[in-house]
Chains A and B, each alone.
Chain A
Amino acid sequence: MAGYVIRRLIQCIIVIFLVTLGLFIAMRLLPGDPLLMIINQEQLGELTQERLDQLREEYGLNKPLVVQYVDWISDTVHGDLGTSITYSSPVTDLLTKRIPITFHLGILSFIIAHVIGIAVGIVSAIRRGTKLDTGLTVLANIGITIPVFWLGIIMIYLFALELHWLPVMGYTSPFDDFWQSTRQLIMPVFCLSVLPLASAARQTRSSVLEIMQQDYVRTAWSKGLRENAVVMRHILKNAFIPVITLAGLGVSFIIGGQVLVEQVFNIPGMGRLAVFAVMNKDYPTAQAIALVIALAVVISNLLVDLSYGWLDPRIRYT
């Protein structure tokens, strides 16, 4: 087990390294000079070549690309993610403010999507062929196909503009105002949850149906066990492996989906910062965000892999 974990950790480091390299190159392939982005049209009139050269030196953009990459990696390893070109402040400070918001939304969405999704999948499977199953399956199919940004706009139109039930936008910390925070989070969390919820429901339904055909489940029913006991003890644990795999992938969807959701609902999280950083070629900020996302995905995949052994003791790590 320990050997497996060490090997996986080494793999994770290699993946992270490749991600940083890929992103570093991709950002530099985008056209345009990032320094000109910090000087808007009105200021362009005051721009001089000396000023441009001064800024280029200040941000280390006059160095060869290899040196820039090595500098960045070296600083990152020492906990310094650099200084944002557009904000002129440490990237660590920016992320410290934004990551909790993104994680707040992400964790809520993840929990809601998987608790409800798994429950819906179980009910659908157990009540297979009923009107309830048909209805839930149709909803799950809609959930998988619906575009997040469209859903967001429709929800804003219905619940904020027409019904005035919920605020259009914004984020408030639950520690500052729990009720306002909850009202502001309902729509974005719903939007972020829809796809993983629908996926979890469909996957759970199909896994549970498959397990229900197994002999040991038939034996459990024939022993006269109650439905709850059969489902919880004998079906669910065995049906969970593919669901957990899907949940691992859901982490990357939820983080990626936040880019759109934070934009539509004007939430000052990491997703909105990522859009801003990429659009403005703010290399240090964009690279740091990609690094955080890569870390989150890699760690969640590692946890998923490790959970297989707990769910199914027959699985051995070599």
Chain B
Amino acid sequence: MKKLLMLLIVMLVASGLIITGCGETTTTTTAQPTTTVAETPKYGGTLTVIYPYMGKSLGWPATSQGGYSLWQQVCLEPLVQQLMDGTFIPRLATAWTIGDDQSVTFTLRQGVKFHDGTDFNAEAVKFNLDAMAAENRGGSVNWASVDVIDDYHIKITYANWANWAVADFAFAGNLYMVSPTAYEKNGLDWIKDHMVGTGPFVQTDMEQDVHIKFDANKDYWQEGKPYLDKLVILCVEDSVTAQTAILSGEADILNTEADQKVIDMQAKGLEAVTRMVGVMNIFMDTANPDSPFAIQANREAVEYAIDKETICQNLSGGMMTPAYWMAPPSVPAYKDIPGRKYDPEKAKELLAEAGNPDGFTFTFYPIPVPLFENPAVAIQADLAKVGINAEYQKITNTKFGELVVGDWENAAIFAAVSSCVPNWVQALSGFFGPMSILYKPMLRSDAFIEAYNAAAFTKEYDNEKVQALLQVMYDEEMVIPCFNSGEAWVFQPYVKGAWDPWPAGLQMWSPENAWLDK
């Protein structure tokens, strides 16, 4: 009986500890990647990384899903690499020129070999770009032609120029180079599951939705790299299991959204780097004349009614920050403006001005992930205080997908624009651009289209024009920016160099520079 009692006590104490752990709050400052202290990298070891999802067709970017660069970057490389300040670093291309005829000509790196021992050259690049064009991927809808000039020069001419043309060839553009020989020899089904690129690691084993294992590429073109002997990426969907795995030392790195759990893990001795990747917004059916959102005063009332500061502090421990501008602080187009800060009285005035002194009702669809669902409940409560009834609808991922390409009335969707690219028009293009089929019930005014065209179709990126575009979006309250959301890499203190440099894009890292200080 005593043993039984002891067992019960142990279980109760354990559950209490877990609950206490979950409720813990700290104000630990998030570390940023630094290059200030030059440490000599150590060779060897195996790095284990955890990520909740494994994309399909990773080895064939023409049909792979976007947002899985974390896996692909290990084996595959693009022509250039872009940083968040907008600068480009050579990768498989050593130089590039933007021509007056709406073209980009790349000079390719010589002496690079694919993992199967074949040469990387202009024909290989053309093969990959043609494959992307066949699937209308990677910005290829804008290309007029892809021409091989010689073995190491290739020219892409544009039918529709946009000033992120070169950025399309960086990591975030998903235009990775795959061995044409591996494709031709083994076929499409095989290549989808086998990443045969020029990258720092060679894929050795893959089990879909379980893991991919890699060995160092001994013939990697960056001399002396990679530092690690082996690398393993595990797919762990359950967030609690993933956190426990890294806390117990079974994993070295965990990529996750930046929220309270990152602070909790830091408090337990792990380190983290974070950066803002996008803005969580409320998209409204402004094009529908019968919608309350057709009236700008109603839209502004909604923004004034949301206490963004308190929501960010209470729900993310400050990892999310209030957003008043349609670009996150990590991009050059960001502007620190006073914004429409929390003012419920002003919200009521605006509602009265719009002819809705008692508020109005609309359907509120948050994207079905906890990062959005929890703040959505807080937003709903804030809106109720000024008489706006947001009828919260919990939806599935499939329903969300249907909504973003479909029609909806008297409704708003709470979702993000997140790309983590320095040219913010590039991020906006898929959502608001002329080719976009998303958020159709949202009105694109003439002023917006004019500002968009001015910002997107110049020869080179012009920050002033991008900010002018964002100003139009702000003035018209086209969408309601709510929170700047971030991504986080949580890691063991002995992991070094993995974000040095930190390429632009979501879930980006530098596996070739990662090393273990142990």
Contact = CB atoms under 8 A, between A and B. Distances in A.
B is a partner of A: yes
Interface of A: 30-34, 36-49, 51-52, 86-89, 97, 131, 134-135, 138-139, 150, 153-154, 156-158, 160-162, 164, 167-170, 263-266, 268, 272-273, 276, 279-281
Given A161-B248, A168-B241, A263-B237, A45 B57 contact: no
Looking at B208, B248, B438, the one whose CB has the most chain A CB atoms below 10 A away is: B248
Given A41-B415, A46-B136, A170-B234, 17 more contacts: A31-B396, A33-B402, A36-B401, A41-B416, A45-B430, A47-B437, A48-B435, A88-B56, A135-B4, A150-B15, A162-B14, A169-B241, A263-B237, A264-B241, A266-B234, A279-B396, A279-B397
A168 B399 CA distance: 33
Contacts of B247: 161
B475 interface: no
B26 to A, nearest CB: 19
Closest 9 CB pairs of A and B: A45-B430, A32-B398, A36-B401, A42-B66, A32-B399, A31-B399, A42-B67, A268-B210, A168-B245
28 contacts: A32-B398, A32-B400, A33-B402, A34-B398, A37-B397, A38-B56, A39-B401, A42-B66, A42-B419, A42-B430, A44-B401, A44-B430, A45-B429, A45-B431, A46-B137, A46-B141, A52-B405, A134-B1, A154-B15, A156-B244, A158-B10, A160-B244, A167-B250, A263-B238, A266-B236, A268-B209, A272-B209, A276-B209
A156 B248 CA distance: 10
Looking at B14, B244, B398, B418, the one whose CB has the most chain A CB atoms below 10 A away is: B398
A135 B1 contact: yes
A48 B437 contact: yes
A52 B406 CA distance: 12
Interface in B360-387: none
B254 to A, nearest CB: 12
Contacts of B18: 153-154, 157
B189 to A, nearest CB: 8
A260 to B, nearest CB: 10
Nearest to B427: A45
Contact of A45 (B241, B398, B400, B438): B438
Interface in B202-237: 207-210, 234, 236-237
A278 to B, nearest CB: 10
A116 to B, nearest CB: 16
B436 A87 contact: no
Interface of B: 1, 4, 10-11, 14-15, 17-18, 56-57, 65-67, 136-137, 141, 189, 192, 207-210, 234, 236-238, 240-241, 244-245, 247-250, 395-402, 404-405, 415-416, 418-419, 429-431, 435-438, 506
Nearest to A158: B14
B13 to A, nearest CB: 10
B17 A157 contact: yes
A316 B237 CA distance: 51
Contacts of A168: 241, 244-245, 248, 250
A154 B405 contact: no
Contacts of A43: 65-67
A268 B405 contact: no
A39 B71 CA distance: 17
A36 B14 contact: no
A87 B192 CA distance: 11
B456 to A, nearest CB: 13
Nearest to A101: B210
A87 B398 contact: no
Nearest to A35: B401
B187 to A, nearest CB: 13
Contacts of B418: 41
Nearest to B401: A36
A96 to B, nearest CB: 12
Contacts of A156: 241, 244
Contact of B14 (A32, A40, A154, A266): A154
Contact of A153 (B240, B248, B250, B431): B240
A258 to B, nearest CB: 14
Contacts of B416: 41
Contacts of B430: 42, 44-46
Contacts of A150: 15
A162 B244 CA distance: 10
B218 to A, nearest CB: 26
A47 to B, nearest CB: 6
Contacts of B241: 156, 168-169, 264-266
Given A32-B399, A87-B208, A153-B240, A40 B66 contact: yes
A62 to B, nearest CB: 16
A183 B288 CA distance: 60
Looking at B189, B237, B506, the one whose CB has the most chain A CB atoms below 10 A away is: B237
Contacts of A263: 237-238
A154 B11 contact: yes
B4 A138 contact: yes
Contacts of A33: 398, 401-402
A39 B436 CA distance: 14
Given A45-B431, A169-B241, A264-B238, A32 B396 contact: yes
Contacts of B429: 45
B438 A47 contact: yes
Contacts of A97: 207
A173 B11 CA distance: 31
A46 B137 CA distance: 7
Contacts of A268: 207, 209-210
